[in-house]
Structure 1
Amino acid sequence: MLHIRCSHAGCPQRFKCQWGLTYHLRTVHRNSNWVNSDVPSVGEDFHDLDGLGHISPGAESAQPSWSQPPSPEPQQAPPPRPSQIFHPHLTGNPLPPGTLPLPRTAAQPTDWSPFESEIQCRTADFLYRCVEMSAGNIDELLELWALDKMKSDQLGPFTSYEHMYSSIDAIQLGDAPWKCFTVSYTGDVQPSDPSWKSAEYEVWFRDPEVIMTQMLDKPEFDGHFDYAPYIGLDKSGKQRWSDFMSGNYAWRHSEWYLPLL
């Protein structure tokens, strides 16, 4: 009775004694690694070897072949999808790679920036917002305040209304402050020319840099716009343009500005 199986993985041979198995391993599987695992029993139509590892009478002269394990099916590649190639250097992130952004911190109760003290802040709020005092009256009040402070060798909260206005304009909270400048015609003016050539006109504006800084500082805008130029590709790998940062203009200007940074 053949009750000893070959210990080589995938080999279905069985033997009557241990030395027959040893002979088989040294001759057939001499250059293979031994694997001590049971193998499944062979079918009835397979001709077993005798104890010496020879084919029994009536067996086919050709070496038996055992079935190889089925090869795994190749995995299907994921379907193509749109992608973006961002600029390698101008990423819009000032932090080193892998660094978490700094947490947002609330202002301290004693922080009156951009004012130097609480008295400056409250005086500006009262004169400018509450009573809407004129510039001339503000200067008069500040002069009286300074005369009183001179007795103790101290200064008033502001030196003039311009000083107070500039402190108010330096406030970073809220909307960007309005600014104004005047323009007029600079050519030759004849007596018969229309009146607009000799008139001055006010131009009111907000600083675009301040507006952009305030937009970038708001957490509500996070993830709603692109911080860096990029090349957009569709499913077929062709470039597509959808907004300003995906255009060639933004990418070209990034190449121009990079040597200056």
Structure 2
Amino acid sequence: MSYPCPKCPWILKSSGGQTQHINAVHCESADNIDNIEPEEHFTYQYHPNLTGLHCDHNGNFIPSDMPPPPFDAHTQSAENAWHPFDDRIEFDFANYHFTTAQSSAREINQALDIWAATMKKYHGTVPWKNATHLYATIDQIQHGSAPWKVYSIHYQGPLPAGTPPKWMTKKHELCTRDSWLVLHNQLAMWGTQSTY
């Protein structure tokens, strides 16, 4: 036997399921589903502060079509826009090989050799000696105010008889950032690239 919902296309397996569905989805009384208007059944109370309306950093309401203010990051400036890279070329090279192409260390070394040969004609140098040097520069990247933190962890429980697994006896490194700060920085950057 099936129990169709009178308000939507759902078909329920029992009358109890139908009642629960109507109460949960349609927020109406199952006894008087056709007779009670929502205005007669509900009382709405609004929170005095949590309204979801657009406001500035001081909490003053602003028009909903006003664009967000520019991102104000004390770590970003015209002098260090590509930091820890010297310029866009260095950043693009690292970004392409590390993120886009996901080049191996051997491929990065080969690309650096070609770049070095090209720069030699102009008595210039490349910014990195090898892939390891490039990785060290990438590891220096800090965006916003959420630096990396490294924690040393190890198993502290009882060891099984015989030879325990290696993971139980070794120390491990956990690299992490403060999730709240990361989210805060992401939302701040997102606000500079979109409009309401």
Q: TM-score, normalised by structure 2?
A: 0.40
Bigger radius of gyration: 1
Q: TM-score, normalised by structure 1?
A: 0.31
Query: Which structure is higher in RCO with an 8 Å CA cutoff and minimum separation 6?
Result: 2
